[in-house]
Amino acid sequence: MGTELDPVAAARAWAAQDPDEVTRAQLEALLARTDAGDPDARAELASRFAGRLTFGTAGLRGELGAGPLRMNRVLVAQAAAGLAAYLLARDPHPSVVIGYDGRRNSAVFARDTAELMAGAGVRAVLLPRMLPTPVLAFAVRHLDTSAGVMVTASHNPAGDNGYKVYLGGLDHGSQIVPPADAAIQAAIVDAAAGSIADLPRSDAYETADDEVVDAYIRRTAARIGDPQPLTVVYTAMHGVGWETASRVFAEAGFAQVVSVEAQQDPDPDFPTVDFPNPEEPGAMDLAFATAAAHDADLVIANDPDADRVAVGVPDGAGGWMRLSGNEVGWLLGWRAARRVAERNIDHGTLACSLVSSPALGVVARKEGLDFAETLTGFKWISRVGDLLYGYEEALGYLVDPDKVRDKDGISAAVEVLGLFSDLRAAGTDFAEHRAAFADRYGAFASGQISVRVADLARIPELMARLRHDPPRAIGGIRVERIDDFAGGFGQFPPSDILRYQLEGGSRVIVRPSGTEPKLKCYLDTRCDEGSPEERQATADAALTALDEGMRALLT
């Protein structure tokens, strides 16, 4: 069913094919109110049928509810049928592995996908239970399937869900990129021309056994060589990470990890956090309280589908703080560079997204490795040639490209545990390690400003204002150059991104979020002069100035 001008007619057609009692009842109630002359009900129908969620390089993601601009069983069935048609057109014997997390309707959407894939003639393998996204990404390569589907909205609010697609074969298990996204979207639109009730279904799909999970756990745990005793607190943030992560930690030699019990089990309501995202203020408060009670060495937090990881450390004043995604990123990059040097490997690439700190590029150049900067998203980072390690500042880290071609919050957690274990074995601590990094590569500081909007039209207005009236200085720091990616820039295709290069090596990047109604600003500073402590103080002071300056610009 394509987009229709009359929302009432579109809603009636949608309700007639909807197999979900809840979303069908939503539409029937709105239709009854519309028939009675309620203008608010008609406006609500219009908001749900004014278009459809577009299948892009992040797949589908949106609020649960009835209609083509929401996530529901009709939309997922159309997506599954379109993806099946795409796979059948490129592979005579296609296959797909399907995973799901603990959000509302995730298991239902996954089973619908398995039945529709099997009905279309695609070999479908459903993972045995709710599992982290990295296990699904691993399974695409491990089972050598043509594609993978993960039903998850990652760290989005509780009312959302999503549908993420990976491709096997020559894509090596990476997420889709153009032109595959447009081709899949076109196939979905074709599938939506009819009723999902007419789509063939079959229960002849396979259910994977635990071998795939066991293989992921073995491979991930093997990254630790000589574990030292550490007191670690872990939170799954009400997601699906604990079962898999706890087994990995135990096999790696960290059997005494303390779980934040209130956030340990999957709960689609995410009752203890406003947003189930470790980046959000307050999201790690329970973990920090648990860490204080256990006199812990560090805190590890996964997001709900465990593809991201946050790290908390003592702040030196009796409290706890979360390390920035960039600091974890450049420290793990340094660790990756040291590992290949120890193995006498003289080639390889460190990669990060455009909006991540420039520190990783400094590490790569200093250590004689290649460096690549990509557009945001692991769909791009994972495709970098000769990749050793990649990260993006939004708590995503790819530490084992031969295993998973996506960010992996459990493997990255193991790398963090390995780092702290190595520091303990060497008789040093994290503060000294930080200072050693600043001494070798310079000190860096990074921050972020997110402007959340209720009206999406506000975002292009803000971007237009920044383009038409560009600042000459930000926070008192002179702007030396403005890079506008709107028409393409260097190797990057046209993108709605502005980058300000400032005096002294500081940098500001502004772009709309790809998954949330936000305008995001990325702030980065650096200093190479003085002692490590002086360098860090200078970088931190410049970051404060940039933060104040950008907030003034955006208000």
**pLDDT tens sequence across 395-424:** 999 999 999 999 999 999 999 999 999 999
pLDDT of residue 457: 81
Residue 272 in this model has a pLDDT that exceeds 50: yes
CATH no. of 229-320: 3.40.120.10
Residue 278 in this model has a pLDDT that exceeds 90: yes
Handedness of CA 337, 343, 349, 351 (dihedral sign): negative
Strands 507-512 and 498-502, by their bridges, are: antiparallel
**Whole-angstrom Cα distance, residue 511 to residue 514?**
9
What confidence tier does 5 reach under pLDDT thresholds 50, 70, 90?
A: low
Identical fold, 52-212 and 443-554: no
Residue 113 in this model has a pLDDT that exceeds 90: yes
Residue 491 in this model has a pLDDT that exceeds 90: no
Across the chain, what does the average pLDDT equal?
Answer: 95
Instruction: Tell me the mean pLDDT in the region 175-203.
Output: 96
Structure tokens at 391: 């990260």
What confidence tier does 454 reach under pLDDT thresholds 50, 70, 90?
A: confident
Residue 153 · residue 103 · CB < 8 Å: yes
What confidence tier does 1 reach under pLDDT thresholds 50, 70, 90?
A: very low
CA angle 154, 160, 165 (to 5 degrees): 50
Tell me which residues are annotated as active site: 154
Residue 173 · residue 166 · CB < 8 Å: yes
Residue 209 in this model has a pLDDT that exceeds 70: yes
Long-range interactions of 400-403: CB distance < 8 A, separation 24+: 400/219, 400/220, 400/223, 403/138, 403/141, 403/216, 403/219, 403/220
Q: What H or E segment, with its residue span, contains residue 150?
A: strand 147-151
**Whole-angstrom Cα distance, residue 475 to residue 544?**
8
**Whole-angstrom Cα distance, residue 327 to residue 279?**
13
> DSSP per residue over 311-369, as a string?
EEEE-SSSSEEEPPHHHHHHHHHHHHHHHHHHTT----EEEEETTS-THHHHHHHHTT-
**Whole-angstrom Cα distance, residue 60 to residue 48?**
15
How large is the angle between the packed helices 39-49 and 7-17, nearest 10 degrees? 70
pLDDT of residue 515: 64
pLDDT of residue 4: 45
pLDDT of residue 56: 81
Query: 52-212 belongs to which homologous superfamily?
Result: Alpha-D-Glucose-1,6-Bisphosphate, subunit A, domain 3 (3.40.120.10)
pLDDT of residue 513: 82
Instruction: Tell me the mean pLDDT in the region 337-347.
Output: 93
pLDDT of residue 452: 84
What confidence tier does 57 reach under pLDDT thresholds 50, 70, 90?
A: confident
Structure tokens at 10: 């579109």
* Domain range summary for the chain, segments of one domain joined by +: 52-212, 229-320, 325-407, 443-554
Other C-beta atoms closer than 10 Å to the C-beta of 255 total 10
Residue 313 bridge partners (DSSP): 321
Which one is the CATH code of 325-407: 3.40.50.970, 3.30.70.20, 3.30.1300.10, 3.40.120.10? Answer: 3.40.120.10
CATH no. of 443-554: 3.30.310.50
**Whole-angstrom Cα distance, residue 470 to residue 87?**
46
> What b/e readout covers 364-395, taking b as 16+ CB neighbours within 10 angstroms?
beebebbbbbbbbbbbbbbbbeebbbbbbbbb
Other C-beta atoms closer than 10 Å to the C-beta of 226 total 9
Residue 60 in this model has a pLDDT that exceeds 90: yes
Residue 498 in this model has a pLDDT that exceeds 50: yes
Other C-beta atoms closer than 10 Å to the C-beta of 282 total 11
The residue among 518 and 5 whose pLDDT is bigger is: 518
Structure tokens at 481: 């150059």
Cα-trace Rg, the chain: 24
Instruction: Tell me the mean pLDDT in the region 379-389.
Output: 96
In Å, the largest CA–CA distance within the chain is: 76
pLDDT of residue 58: 77
Closest-CA residue to 103 (of 280, 240, 271): 240
Local structure of 234: helix, strand or coil: strand
Residue 3 in this model has a pLDDT that exceeds 70: no
Residue 46 in this model has a pLDDT that exceeds 90: yes
Residue 153 in this model has a pLDDT that exceeds 50: yes
